[in-house]
Every structure is written in C-alpha cells, then in structure tokens.
Amino acid sequence: MKKYGFTLLIFLLFSCAEDTSKNSFTTWQHYLGDPERTHYSILNQIDTSNVSSLELAWTYKSGGLEEGRTTQIQTNPLIIGSILYGVNPAIELFALSAATGEELWKYVPSDKDNTGLGLNRGLSYWESNQPDEESRLFFASGFRLYAVSAKTGEPISTFGDNGSIDLRAGLGREIAQMAVYANTPGAIFKNLIIMGTRVGEGPGSSPGHIRAYDVRTGKIEWTFHTIPQPGEFGYDTWPKDAHKTVGGANSWSGNAVDLERGIVYFPTGSAAFDWYGGDRHGENLFANCLLALDAKTGERLWHFQFIRHDMWDRDLPAPPNLFEMERDGEKIPAVAQVTKSGHVFVFNRVTGEPMFPIEEKSYPASSLAGEQAHPTQPLPKKPEPFARQQLNEDDLYDPNRPAFVDDFVDKDQNIDPPTVLEKLRSVTSKGQFIPIDTTGTILYPGADGGAEWGGAALDPRNGVMYVNSNEMAWIVRMKEVTEGDGQDTHPGEALTQIHCARCHGGELQGLAGIPELQHVKERFGLDSIGSIIKNGKGAMPGMPNLSESEIDAIAHFVSKMEMETDHRAEQSSIKVPYAVAGFGRFKDERGFPVVKPPWGTLNAIDLNTGEYLWKVPLGHEEKLNDPNVPVSGTENYGGPVITAGGVLFIAATNDEKIRAFDLNTGRQLWEDQLPAGGYATPATYEVEGKQFLVIACGGGKMGTASGDEYRAYTLSSD
C-alpha cells in the first residue's frame, strides 16, 4: 500500500511540473476546492500584505433573469485548466475563459425543467484515464442530471437517455408522485457519481435514498436506503412499513470523499413531515445523520445521528470537512460536521469515534396529540457552540420596539402590535430541542441556522475551522388541522393548511421572500394555479403526490373560487393532525433581528483543541445608525474560501459585499460592493501567472434584488 502511495505521489509531482495549468493545486477542480470540501487553496500570490490592492479583472453577465421572478445563483464554479464553468439563474451551463471572462460556449438542454427549484450550487467534473474519452461535467436542473462534454458543451449521448437521467427513477415509488431535485453536486469516486437529492418536506414526500451512477452510462450501481427497508439496519427505528410512505431523510447539502480510503460521507436531513412526527414514531434512522459509506458498494461503515426523531427541521445544512487532527502528537484522520443549531461535531473518520465528549441531554415531551418526542438528544461538550443557544429577555436589543414576525399569525390590524418583549413573553423560549407547540416556540438559531448551506472552511495545514453563522431567532407555531363537515368549510382548507401554510404562512400572507397567496387569483388563473401546485414554479417544488381532486380543491380554495364538485370525500392525503400556522424570523418593526448584535459572525476554531481563536461580526446593517454598534453583522448565506496567503474570502452578507479577512486575527483587510448579493461560495485559481478570486452575484435572498453577474478580481498591475 505504501509503495503504491509513493508511486502516486511521484506521478502527481511530475504531472504538476509538466502542466501546472491543469491540476487541482492551481485551479478549482472540485466543488468547494477539493473532495475533502476544505474550501482551501495553496495559492499565495494574494496575501495579507497586498489583498487591499485587489481590483476588478472581468465581469460576465450570465443571463437567465426573468422579470418579476426572484432568482439566485448559489454556484461555486469550477476552474479546469484555463476554463471556468458555472451556471446562471436559469440553470444553463456555460464555459468562460478564466483569464478574461469571455464566453466560450453555453449549453441549454432542450428538455430542461423550467419549473424546478431554480438552484444549483455547483458542478462535478470527471476525467477519464483513457486518452480518447472526453472529460465530462455533471450538473442538475430540476429532476434531471446531465452529462456534458467539458470541451465542447455538447451532451454525452451515451449517458442515460441521450445525455441525462431522471433522478426520480429507482426510488421505489411511482415517478409521477415524486418531487426530486439535486441542488448540490454529486461526489465523484473513480467511475461513479454518487448523488444525494432534495425532496419535499411535507406529508407524502419522496424518499431521500443515496445512489451511485456509472459516469459513462448513467446506470445505478448501488443504492443506500436512508429510510431502511425490511431486514436492513435501522428498520426498527420506524413504524412498520414506513419506507413505503414516509419521505425525506435525504442528503441535499453536499458530501465529502476520502479518495484514499474509498469512503464517502453524506449528511442527511429530517424525515417528512419535518415539524410533526406523530406518524413516524421512533428515532428515524438515517434521518439527521452523518453517514460514512463504502464508495464502491454503498455499504454503511458507520453513522452518527445528531437528532433523534427530528421535529425542528434540523437538517444537516452543509458538507462535512475532512482533515488530519492532531491529538497527543498523533495525526488522526477526522471529519467535522457543522449544524444548524450552531455546533461542531468531530469524529475519527475511519471508525466514527467522537473526538470530543458528547453529552446526552434530557428534553421535555411534546404537547401535540400523537407526537412522541425522543427524551434525549446528543450535544458536544467541545467546541462551544458558535451561535447563541437560547433567547432570553436580557438578550433583546430593543425590547420596547413593536415586534414584527414574518408569519403575522393572529395579527389584528385594529390593535397595536405587541412589543418585542411582550411577544417573547407570549411564546416558549427555553433553548434547543424544545418541542414546537400551538402557542409558539422560539427556534434559536433559526430554521436556516446557525451554520447554513455555505458550510465551513478547514485549513488542512493546522486543523483550524472557519465558519460563518447567523444569529436570528425564529418563531414556529403549529395548529390543529380541521377538515370540517359543514357547508361553511371549504374542502380545500385542510389541504392548504397541510401543504401550503408551511412556506406561505398560516394566513397565506407570505414569509421572508416567499410570495403571499391571499391575492394569487390576481396573478394567475385557476388552471395555472393547479399546474403550479402539481409541477412547481421557480423556488417552489411541485406536489405531484397529490391527486387531481386534491390539487383542484387547493386551487379553488386559494383563489377563493367556488368548486363545481365537492371533493371532501376524496381527500385521502391528510395524514397528520397538525400543520404549520406560523413560521418566520423574529424581528422588530424596522426589520432588524430582536437579539443584540452581532447578527452574523465569522468564527475561527482550532479543532485540535476545541478552542476558539477569534470571533468577529460579519457584515453590517448600514441603516442601523447606532454608534454603539460599529459593525452589526448580518444574516448571511454562502461559505468562505481560505488560502495559503493567509487570507479568508467571503461574500454571503445581505449588505451585498465581498470581504477579505486575516486568517490569524479575523481583522478585515478588504471589501468591495457587489452588483447583487454574493450568496454563494467564491473560488480562487491561477491562470497565466495571476491569482484570481471569482464570486457569483445572484442576489435574490433576504429581500435583495436578483442578479446574473460573475465577478473576478486580481491584484492591481500598478
């Protein structure tokens, strides 16, 4: 084994010496930099002494904007040799000169799904060891995974059905009844691309099984059932035959690969319905787990479940980071996983052994009928959480300001809104893993984290993690679903509560950038509303699992139109007695978080010891105008990139800027205003002797405008 490792090292060294323009050391050949997802580059031309001299090198308008529609670009682009690959807001693939931003080609699939989720965080690249075989790019749009020639932008006709495969196929259920997407690129291992997916989060959602496909043919080579089937490990953590009906437990947030050991690591999300589990009693393996799988076969090597029987939508939000941990003078292969709750768990990545003590803490039972909360949950004793864990009265920034909660539940327009303090006193706020109830429960950090999908960077040289975090409290409230049997109850009301209120609000008033449905008939006709419910539109997933009569009932209810047929007797999909009544950020009337700043932070944690090196605010609310808060921090989405030059680059913030920080101190060294929010992870690469930094400026989150521009920076030539 050592002999072959030495031979491989010699081969790589000679390869780098012969052609430095086409290797992962000077370019960005993998999502988040490398298979270990470290976000790290060895480039050091840009360093702490000259980063303030960065200037704009080129811009590229990628297109794909649609008037009246909110879009995003969350893409971390790839740079292979001298070519940059990315996607635009319409999920159209393009290739650019990485030196100039000049477009080389664009690929728009003829069968592209125009009703998908509209998000793509990156690409996968596979290079053959056969000289006559084309290298290829893999990217997903809607429910299809495409294989495209990296050289020409033409589809690889031998892959799947003339260049693409349907990600809904092979999940063991009827394709027509599933909403399945892939927003995050798959893991490449030898001749396999291993995919997780994004699925719905309400009743009747698709299962989230992990599958490996042959990169040449698109054939499924293995499947790991994240909702175990009879005879499989974990089957007894669900009700009998749950695998036939329960959905979720999917891996939407990414992955990491140990190429040497042949292990792939997938974090998973909650089971569906994600706020109520009365129909899925038990611990629910493999929801909310870090899975270590044999990359060749899909065999489970080990797992750790972070939340048992999730009722808080606490999906694992980001790819894990692989690194070498130093303990008592020994190097240990380790994996670190950040969470929405603001914790970092560290394991031996071969054995699954925790590298810091994990405490089992007791939590109260649920007050919702039929729900059975798990009595304990695991929390690491080290490192300390990087986000605050409980919202108390002393934590309020301006307690006497009028409160503004995105959900507007029970708001009476004829009375004054409660103050922030009054609102806090009216709900439950006791920290992590307190069951959601019908009066309102504080979720803090909020439903997006804590850590979010941008994830953490991890310096492979020293084991230091850099993670950005949100400090936003949310209020979640459940309500009992009532079908009603009187003439005054619309047959679509209960269905709308179950399937629509989770995103659009208990009163269908819209939540945090999600449109209201109270006046939807002014924007769409009845047929269009039904089509959108079934197939999805923009960021909304379709609900093909609903019957035609159920879709018809919802469409008539939200459009306030009378139905020709009463479908009460046909409503078969109501499987849970509760729906989300309110679900939103807890702010004051100015739109600011109710907690004391900072509202967003950047954290450096030495994972060898579990100790913090520094913590600084990330971003600034210019409208705050508080001399006591020179840097407020802001809500942020997108991850950091770190370099051997000692610089950390990150955009992410809702002030729509990109910044550079000193890795050692957290001191800000540079910033630039972007044309739209950079809610993506940057990439850095070297072409023609120059180091570049590139960021996708897609905007579209946190109420900011959408954009389509990619921006690249390099050092001033002066």
Q: What is the pLDDT of residues 518-559, one digit of tens each?
A: 888 778 887 888 888 777 776 676 777 677 777 888 878 888
Predicted confidence at residue 10, as pLDDT, reads: 35
The lowest-confidence range among 50-54, 512-516, 669-673 is 512-516
Q: How many domains does the chain have?
A: 1
Q: What is the mean pLDDT of residues 655-676?
A: 98
For the chain, what is the radius of gyration of the CA atoms?
A: 25
Looking at the domain assignment, is residue 144 inside a domain?
A: no
pLDDT bracket for residue 404 (50, 70, 90): confident
Q: What is the pLDDT, as a whole number, of residue 450?
A: 97
What are the backbone dihedrals phi and psi of residue 131, each rounded to the nearest 5 degrees, phi first? -65, -25
- 376 part of a folded domain: no
Residues 6+ apart with CB under 8 A from 577: 276, 278, 368, 369, 370, 480, 481
Q: Give the pLDDT of residue 202.
A: 85
Residue 529 covered by a domain: yes
pLDDT at 14: 35
Instruction: Output the average pLDDT for the chain.
Output: 90
Torsion-angle region of residue 557: left (phi > 0), alpha (psi -120 to 50) or beta? alpha
> For residue 489, is it within any domain?
yes
pLDDT at 571 over 90: no
- Is the predicted pLDDT of residue 664 greater than 70, yes or no? yes
Tell me the pLDDT tens digit for each residue of 200-248.
Answer: 888 889 999 999 999 999 999 999 999 999 999 999 999 999 999 999 9
* pLDDT exceeds cutoff 70 at 22: no
Beta bridge partners of 346: 336
Tell me the CA distances in angstroms from 512 to 263, 408, 474, 516, one per residue in order.
38, 11, 11, 10
Residue 568 confidence (pLDDT) above 60: no
Question: Is 366 within the bounds of a domain?
Answer: no
pLDDT exceeds 50 at position 457? yes
Residue 563 within any structural domain of the chain: yes
Q: Tell me: pLDDT of 502 over 90.
A: no
Q: What is the CATH number of the domain that holds 509?
A: 1.10.760.10
Band the pLDDT of 69: cuts 50, 70, 90: confident
Average pLDDT over residues 278-287: 97
User: How many Cβ atoms are within 10 Å of 648's Cβ, its own excluded?
Assistant: 24
15, pLDDT greater than 70: no
Task: Check residue 20 and give its pLDDT.
Answer: 35
Helix, strand or coil for residue 333? strand
The predicted model gives 53-80 an average pLDDT of 94
CB environment 475-496: b (16+ within 10 A), e (fewer): bbbbeebeeeeeeeebbbbbbb
pLDDT at 85 over 80: yes
Cα distances (angstroms) measured from residue 373 to each of 67, 311, 315 = 45, 8, 17
CB count, 10 Å around CB of 644?
A: 16
Q: Look at residue 501 and tell me whether its pLDDT is greater than 90.
A: no
Residue with tokens 């291993």: 194
pLDDT, residue 414, reads: 52
Give the pLDDT score at 16: 39
Q: What is the pLDDT of residue 36?
A: 98
Residue 522 lies in a domain: yes
Quote the tokens at residue 360: 């089992």
Residue 405, H or E segment: strand 403-405
> Is residue 263's pLDDT more than 60?
yes
Q: Residue 540 sits in which domain range? A: 482-575
Asked if residue 505 belongs to a domain, the reply is yes
Q: Who's near 548: CB < 8 A, 6+ residues apart?
A: none
Q: pLDDT digit string (tens) for 159-201?
A: 999 999 999 999 998 887 788 999 999 999 999 999 999 998 8
d(CA 451, CA 337): 10
Instruction: Provide the 8-state DSSP code for 422.
Output: H
- Which of 533, 582, 687 has its CA nearest to residue 179? 533
Residue 225: is it exposed, middle or buried by C-beta count within 10 angstroms (0-12/13-18/19+)?
buried
End-to-end CA distance of the chain, in Å?
50
Question: For residue 554, what pLDDT is reported?
Answer: 83
Q: List Cβ neighbours of 9 (8 Å cut-off, separation of 6 or more).
A: none
Quick one: pLDDT at residue 3?
A: 36
- Please, which pLDDT band fits residue 513 given cuts at 50, 70 and 90? low
Q: Residue 486 pLDDT more than 60? A: no
Mean pLDDT of the 273-286 span: 96
**Euclidean distance between CA atoms 6 and 151, whole angstroms:** 32
Q: What percent of the chain has pLDDT over 90?
A: 75
Distance CA 338, CA 355 (A): 14
pLDDT score of 148 more than 70: yes
